[in-house]
Structure formats: structure tokens, C-alpha cells
């Protein structure tokens, strides 16, 4: 079974490579997901809400858990730079801080 990520609110889907992070998949299809710390799990700008498929993601490591805190973990929040697809199913995530490229002006 192909591993898929669906990104909301845009509804974009992508088949992902083994162990690919949610962040890398988002960037690959042109979603501009903030990631200030350059994938080091030292900020929370790339956080996403895992709507479905949490069981198909890599376990949360200590550094990510410390950055998020218990409250966010209970709400199915993950750092997209750290969460990788490991299962064979699909995952749906909501990107709360998606930002659009500025529109070109004539």
C-alpha cells in the first residue's frame, strides 16, 4: 500500500518515500510550511495537527515531546520536521501556519 499524506486546508495529497518527514513532503508539493530551526526540533513553527493516521508516524522522540509539552501531544500535534511516515497507511494533517507566497504585482 502506498503511503500518502493529505494536507488540509489545501487538500493536496502526495505519495511519500519511506521515512520521509511531513515537512519534506509539504515542501515537495509547494506548500510553504514554516520551519525556523531548520529541522532541529528546537522551535514549534512547523507544528501540524494530525487529523488521522497517527499510528503511521514515527514515535515521538524526547526533544520533540519537550518542545510540544503534554497539552499539545494530547491534541495530536506533531512537529512536521520530526514526524516521519513509517506505516503503510495514509495520514491527514492540518497545517495551522501555512503561508502563501506574495502575489506578483504588475
CATH topology of domain 4-94: Ubiquitin-like (UB roll) (3.10.20)
**What is the pLDDT at residue 92?**
97
Phi-psi region at 41: left, alpha or beta (left = phi > 0; alpha = psi -120 to 50): left
pLDDT class of 99 with cuts at 50, 70, 90 = low
Residues 34-69: pLDDT tens digits? 888 989 999 999 999 999 999 999 999 999 999 998
Domain boundaries in the chain?
Answer: 4-94
pTM for the structure as a whole: 0.86
Of 21-25, 58-62, 102-106, the poorest mean pLDDT is in: 102-106
Supply the pLDDT for residue 101. 45
Which distant-in-sequence residues (6+ apart) come within 8 Å of 84 by Cβ? 19, 20, 21, 22, 57, 58
Amino acid at each position: 500500500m502506498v503511503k500518502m499524506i493529505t494536507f488540509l486546508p489545501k487538500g493536496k495529497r502526495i505519495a511519500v518515500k519511506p521515512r520521509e518527514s511531513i515537512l519534506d513532503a509539504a515542501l515537495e508539493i509547494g506548500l510553504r510550511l514554516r520551519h525556523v530551526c531548520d529541522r532541529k526540533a528546537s522551535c514549534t513553527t512547523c507544528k501540524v495537527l494530525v487529523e488521522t493516521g497517527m499510528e503511521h508516524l514515527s514515535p515521538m522522540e524526547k526533544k520533540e515531546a519537550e518542545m510540544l509539552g503534554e497539552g499539545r501531544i494530547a491534541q495530536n500535534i506533531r512537529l512536521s520536521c520530526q514526524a516521519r511516515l513509517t506505516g503503510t497507511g495514509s495520514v491527514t494533517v492540518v497545517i495551522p501556519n501555512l503561508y502563501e507566497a506574495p502575489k506578483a504585482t504588475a
